[in-house]
Structure 1
Amino acid sequence: MRLKKYTDYALRVLMFTAVKEDGELASKKEISAAFGISMNHLAKIVHELQKSGYVETVRGRNGGIRLARPPEDINVGAVVRVMEDDFNLFECFSCDTDYCVISPVCKLKSITGRALREFLRVLDAYTLADIVENRQQLEEFLN
Protein backbone atom coordinates (compact mmCIF):
# COMPACT_ATOMS: atom_id res chain seq x y z
CA MET A 1 0.00 0.00 0.00
CA ARG A 2 1.19 3.46 -0.80
CA LEU A 3 -0.20 6.67 0.62
CA LYS A 4 -0.64 9.65 -1.70
CA LYS A 5 1.81 12.55 -1.65
CA TYR A 6 -1.20 14.62 -0.59
CA THR A 7 -1.32 12.72 2.71
CA ASP A 8 2.46 12.83 3.12
CA TYR A 9 2.45 16.59 2.60
CA ALA A 10 -0.48 17.04 4.98
CA LEU A 11 1.50 15.30 7.72
CA ARG A 12 4.52 17.46 6.90
CA VAL A 13 2.40 20.64 7.18
CA LEU A 14 1.19 19.49 10.58
CA MET A 15 4.73 18.70 11.68
CA PHE A 16 5.98 22.09 10.48
CA THR A 17 3.27 23.95 12.34
CA ALA A 18 3.77 21.79 15.45
CA VAL A 19 7.43 22.74 15.82
CA LYS A 20 6.59 26.44 15.80
CA GLU A 21 6.42 28.17 19.17
CA ASP A 22 2.95 28.13 20.73
CA GLY A 23 0.66 30.31 18.67
CA GLU A 24 3.37 31.33 16.19
CA LEU A 25 2.12 31.30 12.63
CA ALA A 26 3.79 29.38 9.82
CA SER A 27 3.55 30.90 6.38
CA LYS A 28 2.65 28.88 3.31
CA LYS A 29 5.79 30.29 1.72
CA GLU A 30 7.96 28.85 4.52
CA ILE A 31 6.31 25.45 4.27
CA SER A 32 6.51 25.44 0.49
CA ALA A 33 10.23 26.25 0.59
CA ALA A 34 11.00 23.75 3.35
CA PHE A 35 9.43 20.78 1.59
CA GLY A 36 9.45 21.79 -2.08
CA ILE A 37 5.65 21.75 -2.33
CA SER A 38 4.03 24.02 -4.89
CA MET A 39 2.00 26.86 -3.40
CA ASN A 40 -1.08 25.72 -5.34
CA HIS A 41 -0.87 22.14 -4.04
CA LEU A 42 -0.11 23.41 -0.53
CA ALA A 43 -3.19 25.65 -0.57
CA LYS A 44 -5.40 22.62 -1.29
CA ILE A 45 -3.80 20.63 1.51
CA VAL A 46 -4.12 23.46 4.02
CA HIS A 47 -7.75 23.94 3.01
CA GLU A 48 -8.49 20.26 3.69
CA LEU A 49 -6.63 20.38 7.03
CA GLN A 50 -8.57 23.50 8.00
CA LYS A 51 -11.89 21.99 6.95
CA SER A 52 -11.08 18.93 9.08
CA GLY A 53 -10.24 21.05 12.11
CA TYR A 54 -6.51 20.37 12.27
CA VAL A 55 -5.23 23.85 11.44
CA GLU A 56 -6.43 27.43 11.64
CA THR A 57 -5.55 30.01 9.05
CA VAL A 58 -5.11 33.71 9.64
CA ARG A 59 -5.50 35.98 6.62
CA GLY A 60 -3.65 39.16 5.92
CA ARG A 61 -0.13 40.43 5.64
CA ASN A 62 1.04 38.80 8.85
CA GLY A 63 -1.20 35.79 8.45
CA GLY A 64 -0.34 32.14 8.31
CA ILE A 65 -1.18 28.71 9.64
CA ARG A 66 -1.18 27.24 13.13
CA LEU A 67 -2.49 24.10 14.74
CA ALA A 68 -6.13 24.26 15.74
CA ARG A 69 -5.54 21.87 18.64
CA PRO A 70 -2.61 20.59 20.68
CA PRO A 71 -0.30 18.09 18.92
CA GLU A 72 -1.21 15.39 21.44
CA ASP A 73 -4.85 15.68 20.30
CA ILE A 74 -4.05 15.09 16.62
CA ASN A 75 -4.08 11.38 15.83
CA VAL A 76 -1.92 10.30 12.90
CA GLY A 77 -4.32 7.52 11.84
CA ALA A 78 -7.25 9.94 11.82
CA VAL A 79 -5.32 12.40 9.63
CA VAL A 80 -4.45 9.63 7.17
CA ARG A 81 -8.11 8.54 6.99
CA VAL A 82 -9.20 12.13 6.26
CA MET A 83 -6.59 12.73 3.59
CA GLU A 84 -6.85 9.38 1.79
CA ASP A 85 -10.01 8.87 -0.21
CA ASP A 86 -9.48 5.25 -1.19
CA PHE A 87 -8.30 2.30 0.87
CA ASN A 88 -9.39 -0.27 -1.71
CA LEU A 89 -6.21 -2.29 -2.05
CA PHE A 90 -7.71 -4.51 -4.74
CA GLU A 91 -10.72 -4.35 -7.01
CA CYS A 92 -12.60 -6.76 -4.73
CA PHE A 93 -12.54 -4.21 -1.89
CA SER A 94 -15.10 -2.19 -3.83
CA CYS A 95 -18.55 -3.71 -4.23
CA ASP A 96 -19.22 -1.41 -7.20
CA THR A 97 -16.40 -2.66 -9.39
CA ASP A 98 -15.71 -6.20 -8.20
CA TYR A 99 -15.63 -8.27 -11.36
CA CYS A 100 -13.19 -10.89 -10.07
CA VAL A 101 -14.47 -14.40 -10.78
CA ILE A 102 -12.90 -15.93 -7.65
CA SER A 103 -14.08 -13.20 -5.27
CA PRO A 104 -16.67 -15.40 -3.48
CA VAL A 105 -14.01 -17.93 -2.44
CA CYS A 106 -10.80 -15.87 -2.40
CA LYS A 107 -8.93 -15.53 0.90
CA LEU A 108 -6.68 -12.73 -0.34
CA LYS A 109 -9.32 -10.08 0.43
CA SER A 110 -9.55 -11.06 4.10
CA ILE A 111 -5.75 -11.23 4.47
CA THR A 112 -5.13 -7.84 2.87
CA GLY A 113 -8.09 -6.38 4.75
CA ARG A 114 -6.51 -7.51 7.99
CA ALA A 115 -3.17 -6.02 6.92
CA LEU A 116 -4.87 -2.69 6.21
CA ARG A 117 -6.63 -2.71 9.59
CA GLU A 118 -3.31 -3.42 11.33
CA PHE A 119 -1.59 -0.66 9.37
CA LEU A 120 -4.22 1.84 10.49
CA ARG A 121 -4.17 0.46 14.04
CA VAL A 122 -0.44 1.22 14.28
CA LEU A 123 -0.97 4.76 12.97
CA ASP A 124 -3.81 5.20 15.48
CA ALA A 125 -1.31 4.56 18.27
CA TYR A 126 0.56 7.79 17.49
CA THR A 127 -0.18 11.47 17.74
CA LEU A 128 1.44 14.48 16.14
CA ALA A 129 3.22 15.05 19.47
CA ASP A 130 4.90 11.65 19.09
CA ILE A 131 6.27 12.45 15.64
CA VAL A 132 7.61 15.88 16.63
CA GLU A 133 9.14 14.93 19.96
CA ASN A 134 12.55 15.64 18.38
CA ARG A 135 11.41 19.24 17.93
CA GLN A 136 14.85 20.85 18.09
CA GLN A 137 16.28 18.57 15.41
CA LEU A 138 13.28 19.19 13.18
CA GLU A 139 13.63 22.95 13.62
CA GLU A 140 17.28 22.78 12.58
CA PHE A 141 16.40 20.93 9.36
CA LEU A 142 13.42 23.14 8.58
CA ASN A 143 15.21 26.46 9.00
Structure 2
Amino acid sequence: MQLKKYTDYALRVLIYTGTKNNDELASIKEISKTFAISQNHLGKVVFELNKKGYLETVRGRNGGIRLAKPPEEMNVGEIVREFEDDFAILECFDKSRNHCVITPACKLKHALNEAVQAFLQVLDDYTVNDLITNRGHLKKLMGID
Protein backbone atom coordinates (compact mmCIF):
# COMPACT_ATOMS: atom_id res chain seq x y z
CA MET A 1 0.00 0.00 0.00
CA GLN A 2 1.44 3.34 -0.99
CA LEU A 3 -0.06 6.76 -0.49
CA LYS A 4 0.10 9.39 -3.21
CA LYS A 5 2.63 12.19 -2.84
CA TYR A 6 -0.33 14.57 -2.62
CA THR A 7 -1.52 12.85 0.57
CA ASP A 8 2.02 12.74 1.94
CA TYR A 9 2.42 16.46 1.31
CA ALA A 10 -0.94 17.21 2.95
CA LEU A 11 0.14 15.36 6.09
CA ARG A 12 3.52 17.12 6.10
CA VAL A 13 1.83 20.53 5.81
CA LEU A 14 -0.42 19.68 8.76
CA ILE A 15 2.54 18.46 10.80
CA TYR A 16 4.54 21.59 9.96
CA THR A 17 1.73 24.02 10.74
CA GLY A 18 0.80 22.00 13.82
CA THR A 19 4.24 22.55 15.34
CA LYS A 20 3.83 26.33 15.13
CA ASN A 21 2.47 28.26 18.09
CA ASN A 22 -1.29 28.87 17.94
CA ASP A 23 -1.13 32.40 16.51
CA GLU A 24 2.01 31.89 14.41
CA LEU A 25 1.59 31.60 10.65
CA ALA A 26 3.55 29.36 8.30
CA SER A 27 4.21 30.06 4.64
CA ILE A 28 4.16 27.81 1.63
CA LYS A 29 7.65 29.09 0.84
CA GLU A 30 9.13 27.95 4.17
CA ILE A 31 7.35 24.57 4.01
CA SER A 32 8.59 24.13 0.44
CA LYS A 33 12.15 24.86 1.51
CA THR A 34 11.96 22.58 4.56
CA PHE A 35 10.73 19.54 2.65
CA ALA A 36 12.27 20.34 -0.77
CA ILE A 37 8.83 20.28 -2.41
CA SER A 38 7.72 22.54 -5.24
CA GLN A 39 5.85 25.64 -4.05
CA ASN A 40 3.41 25.06 -6.90
CA HIS A 41 2.56 21.56 -5.65
CA LEU A 42 2.26 22.79 -2.08
CA GLY A 43 -0.03 25.61 -3.18
CA LYS A 44 -2.47 23.04 -4.57
CA VAL A 45 -2.24 20.95 -1.39
CA VAL A 46 -2.78 24.00 0.83
CA PHE A 47 -5.77 25.03 -1.30
CA GLU A 48 -7.35 21.59 -0.75
CA LEU A 49 -6.55 21.57 2.97
CA ASN A 50 -8.17 24.99 3.27
CA LYS A 51 -11.21 23.93 1.24
CA LYS A 52 -11.65 20.85 3.42
CA GLY A 53 -11.43 22.92 6.62
CA TYR A 54 -8.04 21.75 7.90
CA LEU A 55 -6.14 24.98 7.24
CA GLU A 56 -6.96 28.63 7.59
CA THR A 57 -5.32 31.01 5.15
CA VAL A 58 -4.56 34.61 6.02
CA ARG A 59 -4.07 36.93 3.07
CA GLY A 60 -1.88 39.98 2.89
CA ARG A 61 1.71 41.02 3.35
CA ASN A 62 2.10 39.20 6.66
CA GLY A 63 -0.25 36.40 5.69
CA GLY A 64 0.25 32.68 5.79
CA ILE A 65 -1.44 29.50 6.91
CA ARG A 66 -2.29 27.83 10.20
CA LEU A 67 -4.41 24.97 11.41
CA ALA A 68 -8.12 25.77 11.20
CA LYS A 69 -8.97 23.62 14.19
CA PRO A 70 -7.14 21.95 17.05
CA PRO A 71 -4.85 19.12 15.88
CA GLU A 72 -6.58 16.66 18.21
CA GLU A 73 -9.75 17.14 16.12
CA MET A 74 -8.04 16.13 12.87
CA ASN A 75 -8.23 12.39 12.30
CA VAL A 76 -5.41 10.97 10.17
CA GLY A 77 -7.57 8.17 8.72
CA GLU A 78 -10.18 10.71 7.63
CA ILE A 79 -7.53 12.92 6.03
CA VAL A 80 -6.04 9.98 4.13
CA ARG A 81 -9.49 8.94 2.88
CA GLU A 82 -10.17 12.50 1.69
CA PHE A 83 -6.90 12.76 -0.21
CA GLU A 84 -6.72 9.24 -1.62
CA ASP A 85 -9.31 8.81 -4.33
CA ASP A 86 -8.59 5.19 -5.13
CA PHE A 87 -7.93 2.25 -2.84
CA ALA A 88 -8.35 -0.21 -5.71
CA ILE A 89 -4.97 -1.86 -5.37
CA LEU A 90 -5.76 -4.61 -7.89
CA GLU A 91 -7.66 -4.43 -11.15
CA CYS A 92 -10.37 -6.69 -9.70
CA PHE A 93 -11.30 -3.94 -7.23
CA ASP A 94 -12.66 -1.96 -10.19
CA LYS A 95 -15.30 -3.83 -12.18
CA SER A 96 -14.84 -1.62 -15.23
CA ARG A 97 -11.10 -2.49 -15.48
CA ASN A 98 -11.24 -6.09 -14.32
CA HIS A 99 -10.19 -8.63 -16.92
CA CYS A 100 -9.03 -11.35 -14.54
CA VAL A 101 -10.70 -14.69 -15.25
CA ILE A 102 -10.37 -16.04 -11.70
CA THR A 103 -12.17 -13.14 -9.99
CA PRO A 104 -15.34 -15.14 -9.19
CA ALA A 105 -13.33 -17.74 -7.20
CA CYS A 106 -10.37 -15.65 -6.04
CA LYS A 107 -9.86 -14.98 -2.33
CA LEU A 108 -6.99 -12.51 -2.86
CA LYS A 109 -9.33 -9.57 -3.47
CA HIS A 110 -11.04 -10.19 -0.13
CA ALA A 111 -7.75 -10.58 1.73
CA LEU A 112 -6.36 -7.37 0.28
CA ASN A 113 -9.59 -5.48 0.92
CA GLU A 114 -9.40 -6.62 4.54
CA ALA A 115 -5.78 -5.41 4.69
CA VAL A 116 -6.70 -1.98 3.29
CA GLN A 117 -9.51 -1.67 5.84
CA ALA A 118 -7.12 -2.64 8.65
CA PHE A 119 -4.61 -0.04 7.39
CA LEU A 120 -7.26 2.68 7.48
CA GLN A 121 -8.57 1.51 10.84
CA VAL A 122 -5.11 1.93 12.38
CA LEU A 123 -4.89 5.45 10.93
CA ASP A 124 -8.30 6.19 12.46
CA ASP A 125 -6.67 5.76 15.88
CA TYR A 126 -4.38 8.77 15.25
CA THR A 127 -4.91 12.50 15.12
CA VAL A 128 -2.58 15.18 13.83
CA ASN A 129 -1.87 15.94 17.48
CA ASP A 130 -0.49 12.40 17.90
CA LEU A 131 1.87 13.10 15.00
CA ILE A 132 3.26 16.23 16.64
CA THR A 133 3.60 15.21 20.29
CA ASN A 134 7.37 15.52 19.82
CA ARG A 135 7.05 19.17 18.71
CA GLY A 136 10.46 20.19 20.03
CA HIS A 137 12.31 17.55 18.08
CA LEU A 138 10.23 18.17 14.94
CA LYS A 139 10.87 21.93 15.16
CA LYS A 140 14.59 21.33 15.46
CA LEU A 141 14.63 19.01 12.44
CA MET A 142 12.53 21.42 10.36
CA GLY A 143 14.55 24.46 11.41
CA ILE A 144 11.64 26.20 13.12
CA ASP A 145 12.66 28.58 15.91
Task: Quickly name the TM-score band, shorter chain normalised.
Answer: over 0.9
1:112 has 2:132 as partner? no
**Match in the other structure for 2:134:** 134
1:103-139 Cα shifts (integer Å, max 9, x gaps): 1110000000000000000000000000100001011
Runs of at least 5 residues in structure 1 that lack an aligned partner in the other structure: none
**Match in the other structure for 1:100:** 100
The ranges of structure 1 where at least 4 consecutive aligned residues each deviate by more than 6 angstroms after the TM superposition are none
How far apart, CA to CA, are the structure 2 residues paired with 1:86 and 1:29? 30
**Match in the other structure for 1:29:** 29
How far apart, CA to CA, are the structure 2 residues paired with 1:103 and 1:133? 44
Runs of at least 5 residues in structure 2 that lack an aligned partner in the other structure: none
**Match in the other structure for 1:9:** 9
How far apart, CA to CA, are the structure 2 residues paired with 1:22 and 1:43? 21
TM-score by length of 2: 0.96
Q: Write the letter of the residue equivalent to 2:111.
A: I
CA shift at 1:23, angstroms? Answer: 2.1
CA shift at 1:51, angstroms? Answer: 1.1
Q: CA RMSD in A?
A: 0.7
CA shift at 1:97, angstroms? Answer: 1.3
For the residue of structure 1 that corresponds to 2:106, the secondary structure is coil
How far apart, CA to CA, are the structure 2 residues paired with 1:33 and 1:78? 27
**Match in the other structure for 2:52:** 52
How far apart, CA to CA, are the structure 1 residues paired with 2:3 and 2:49? 16
Q: Write the letter of the residue equivalent to 2:92.
A: C
How far apart, CA to CA, are the structure 1 residues paired with 2:23 and 2:124? 26
**Match in the other structure for 1:67:** 67
CA shift at 1:5, angstroms? Answer: 1.1
Count residues with an aligned counterpart: 143
- Name the % identity: 59
Q: Write the letter of the residue equivalent to 1:89.
A: I
TM-score by length of 1: 0.98
How far apart, CA to CA, are the structure 2 residues paired with 1:38 and 1:62? 21
